[in-house]
């Protein structure tokens, strides 16, 4: 058992799969010699060599085109898109090629590839390097969307993503890179599509993912101590596939749903969760479905403004307190 940061877990996860399968390769901008812009891939070049850990030109289109071709010929490539915002310059490859190839070939061609990327805000990187794009990815049929919140989950979910026969967008929340957690020795594999209940409570259900998980847990603790409001906190872990059954069972028991989202509120993933809950268990609800999300604006670079934009522990506590009466 070791205590790893989320940053260290990235290297551990990639190495686990590269040791297991010689068909796994890894490429991206500065991922080899420099050890990654976030220093999450240090040591991989030394262990696996330049034929499997490959520095690429600054061209996201070239990176994704290369891994798409590689996956079609039997490899299981991993690519790093440095910041998730940069998917905007290569989104056609994801949406119109990767997401549709298996369907359009009637299953004759699979694309077992992973696109990992630094996602989200909180680090003062400004509007073009801080977006949380999970709602972009979730809207595209044919790709899977994964977002771990703990080092152990990162290793386990990454393993399942690499072994999956469909394209996976793997979102690493940049604001969590320094956070630490215990990770056991040996191989770790966590199934995609299974949420984790991080805290049990009887009065309300908080559904969240990524950076918002530790904030929701802190908010739930405060609500219990100060207001006597007991909350269950669900970490979705994957958005596609979505563990709707876990959400429905828990919300049915508590009668209240609050989603906490880093993505902008308009067309965020919480709207889909709310729609499913309203369709399936409307008569089990004791109050309105409430979404706590980032406003529909570009993220500011100024620290004080960014902190007021992304849902904070205080904002979560105050919203739930008011809505619970």
Residues marked active site are found at 129
Compute the distance between CA of residue 169 and CA of residue 107 in angstroms, rounded to an integer: 20
Determine contact, residues 305/127, Cβ cutoff 8 Å. Answer: no
Q: In this structure, how many other beta carbons lie within 10 angstroms of the beta carbon of residue 51?
A: 7
DSSP 8-state class, residue 94: I
Q: Quick one: which H or E segment has residue 117?
A: strand 114-119
Q: What is the DSSP letter of 97?
A: I
136, 206, 208, 223, 315 from 309: Cα distances, Å: 19, 19, 17, 21, 10
Question: 241 preceded by cis ω (within 30°)?
Answer: yes
- C-beta separation of 311 from 261 below 8 A: yes
Question: Coil, helix or strand for 292?
Answer: strand
Q: Please, is 107 exposed, middle or buried when counting C-beta atoms within 10 Å of its C-beta (0-12, 13-18, 19+)?
A: exposed
């Amino acid at each position: 058992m070791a205590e790893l940061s989320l940053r260290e877990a990235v290297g551990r996860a990639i190495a686990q799969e590269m040791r297991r399968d010689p068909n796994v390769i890894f490429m991206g901008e500065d991922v080899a010699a420099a050890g990654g812009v976030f220093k999450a891939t240090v040591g991989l070049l030394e262990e696996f060599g330049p034929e499997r850990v490959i520095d690429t030109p600054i061209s996201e289109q070239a990176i994704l085109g290369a891994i798409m071709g590689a996956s079609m010929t039997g490899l299981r490539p991993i690519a790093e898109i440095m910041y998730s915002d940069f998917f905007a310059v290569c989104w056609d490859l994801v949406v119109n090629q990767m997401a549709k190839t298996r369907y359009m070939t009637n299953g004759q061609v699979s694309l077992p590839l992973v696109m990992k990327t630094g996602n989200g805000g909180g680090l003062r990187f400004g509007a073009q390097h801080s977006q949380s794009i999970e709602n972009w990815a979730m809207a595209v049929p044919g790709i899977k969307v994964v977002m771990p919140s703990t080092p152990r989950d990162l290793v386990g979910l990454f393993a399942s993503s690499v072994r999956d026969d469909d394209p996976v967008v793997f979102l690493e929340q940049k604001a969590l890179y320094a956070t630490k957690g215990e990770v056991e020795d040996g191989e770790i594999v966590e199934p995609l599509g299974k949420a984790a209940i991080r805290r049990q409570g009887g009065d309300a259900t908080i559904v969240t993912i990524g950076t918002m998980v530790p904030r929701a847990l802190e908010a739930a603790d405060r609500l219990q101590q100060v207001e006597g409001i007991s909350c269950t906190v669900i970490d979705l872990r994957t958005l596609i596939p979505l563990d709707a059954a876990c959400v429905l069972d828990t919300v049915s028991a508590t009668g209240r749903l609050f989603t906490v989202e880093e993505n902008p509120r308009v067309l965020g993933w919480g709207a889909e969760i709310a729609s499913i809950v309203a369709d399936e268990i409307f008569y089990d609800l004791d109050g309105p479905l409430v979404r706590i999300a980032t406003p529909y604006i570009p993220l500011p670079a100024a620290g004080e403004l960014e902190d007021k934009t992304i849902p904070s522990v205080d904002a979560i506590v105050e919203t739930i307190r008011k809505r619970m009466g």
